[in-house]
Chains A and B, each alone.
Chain A
Amino acid sequence: MHLSRDTMRHVHGWLLLTPAAVLLVSFTHYPTIATVINSFFSKGNSVRPSRFIGIDNYQAMTQDPIFWKVLVNNMWFAVGTIPTSIALAIIMALLVNRAMPGRSFVRMAYFTPTILPMIAVANIWLFFYSPDIGLIDQITSWFGISGHNWLGDPDTVLSAIIVMTVWKEAGFFMIFYLAALQHIPPELGEAAKLEGASRWYYFRRVLFPLLMPTSLFVLINAVLNSFKLVDHLFVLTKGGPDNASNLLLYYIFENAFSYFDTNYAATLTVVLLGLLAIMALAQFFVLDRRIHYR
């Protein structure tokens, strides 16, 4: 038998793709499909095995007040963390992109929170937020303000977590902005300076538009992170009090591993995947058209 050269080329191509394809299928595609299928089945136990129930899980979900609560929480979490951490990242990058004494030290200081594991960060902030003995309360006590249980109060817990997340994320995003800024030739700034453009004008008309590709990348990451980052909840609040700081992914975890309702967890996961897909697509299609790429 003699295979044509063309066929052999296809065979080679497929052979080279196989390892990556196997990994993708077994760890991404198969679990995704399995999750979707699972979401159509009831929770099984030793007495009643799991059975197909159609969209009952989804109906139950729309009736579940905690689901709506974590969804709203997650929205506030995104709104609270994304714009602030991006704005801070740009400001920090602009600050450390200039020639100044101790520049590399400041750059490293800004970046440190990113290197730390989330669990460690959460532990540090647990100390900051501890009522009375924590750093924040000790400082406010100098001004005669009495202690506050930041993580125990449903009114402040989500904000407290937002502040910590911004602290953790801004340094990470700063690195991307810093890299982008260093690719912008300094002559552009000099040309603007010769015309008398203020720093703000130059930022608005030149730097910010030239940073847009970076901003899109950072924005997508920030949005994904606002749904993906839940490690700190394990340390800080466990979603409490009264689900005031519970987020979608943590709620999925609770359902799957605390209440052992893997089918409801699968239902919630499908919703999460759908949300992420919609947001990623929207960002690409809406923003991508308005961005200048070099």
Chain B
Amino acid sequence: MSGIQIHNLVKQWDEVRAVDDVSFEVPQGSLTVLLGPSGCGKSTILRMIAGLEDASDGEILIDGNDVTREDPSRRGVSMVFQSYALFPHLSVRENILFGLKVRRVPVAEQEKRLLEAAELVGLAHLLDRKPANLSGGQRQRVALSRTIVSNQPVCLMDEPLSNLDAKLRAEMRDEICALQRKLSLTMVYVTHDQIEAMSMADQVVLLKGGQVEQVGTPTDLYEAPQTTFAASFLGMPPMNVIPLDQISGGEALQGGLPQARPDWLLGIRPEQIRIAENGIPVEVTAADYMGAETVLRLQHGKQVVMARVHGRPPADVGDKLRIAWAADDIHLFDENGARRGGPDTAVSQPAL
């Protein structure tokens, strides 16, 4: 089996266990996103795959070979750094060719790959510039070109878009995806941005405190979060996770989910909340109008509930409303935050 396999990977700094028994697989030619809040160990995992950091325990297989102790340059990986790691004194051309020169690729071959890559990312007219004279997006493209010319089957990216403005970020997302497909790269992409994860990934590995929280496709994660952490990490605004005892049980559960216990938690996506004639009484405490939709911040007793409705705000701040949702849209989590029921449990667990 090719691609990347990570088995029980551990990284222990003096006191911090930055990566704690992490296992996942990256199928060949697919794009896996490591997603999680800052400090959850994403970069550390990526750097261990690259060989820039030694693993404290566990193993890393690339193309079926154990590379856990292999030299970084012989693992068949290329890497795009958050800061791009361009050599400031070298021209774009020299930056792109740096790796090929180290590896003593014949000059004619170097030139061929350089021109192909420059063409592919639209840098052909900038080859003689220094990095200081490039825009953020152009620097990003130089970093991508380095990956392209390296011809390595595995590409690792550590928050490559975080230094770009919002518009450029959307553009580069598409470009990176297109590139990954075109070159059938096996890609591991680190980000804390759920939009990047949702829009780019074939598979998302959600991390929390150095441990894997959930592995699945973006739709798996969104539609069937396995934990309250996953539920409240994805979505804008994220899923409402409400202790059942905050809302009178019968009303909240809409008559469904008989297994629920009073100390469990209910999850409901903001877009699945509707304003109803009779339902749970709430007060509007904020209404953020965004054009196509409005995000409402609603208060029920001490519980805050976020709701997303089409178009203009249906009510002003201070107004009283009633809300309801369908029993089919309810996710249920037990007192430890693990999933106990919800819409497509059956879909995502076909083995049952």
Contact = CB atoms under 8 A, between A and B. Distances in A.
Interface of A: 185, 187-188, 190-197, 201, 205-206, 209-210, 292, 294
A194 B77 contact: yes
Contacts of B103: 195-196
B50 to A, nearest CB: 6
A194 B73 contact: yes
Given A196-B73, A196-B74, A292-B89, A190 B81 contact: yes
Interface residues of B, number: 24
A193 B99 CA distance: 9
B88 A292 contact: yes
A197 B102 contact: yes
A210 B102 contact: no
B83 A192 contact: no
Nearest to A195: B99
16 contacts: A187-B83, A188-B87, A191-B81, A191-B146, A193-B72, A193-B73, A194-B52, A194-B99, A195-B73, A196-B73, A196-B102, A197-B73, A201-B102, A209-B89, A292-B88, A294-B132
Contact of B98 (A187, A195, A210, A294): A195
Interface string B83-98: 1010111000000001
Given A185-B85, A197-B102, A210-B89, A191 B71 contact: no
A62 B85 CA distance: 57
A196 to B, nearest CB: 3
Contacts of A194: 50-52, 72-73, 77-79, 99
Interface of B: 50-52, 71-74, 77-79, 81, 83, 85, 87-89, 98-99, 102-103, 130, 132, 146, 150
Nearest to B99: A195
Nearest to A189: B85
A294 B103 CA distance: 28
B161 to A, nearest CB: 16
Nearest to B104: A196
Which of A188, A191, A196, A209 has most chain B Cβ within 10 Å? A191
A193 B51 CA distance: 9
B52 A188 contact: no
A209 B91 CA distance: 13
Contacts of A187: 81, 83, 85
Which of B52, B77, B78, B89 has most chain A Cβ within 10 Å? B89
A210 B88 CA distance: 8
Nearest to B152: A194
A209 B90 CA distance: 9
Which of B78, B98, B132, B146 has most chain A Cβ within 10 Å? B98
A197 B100 CA distance: 10
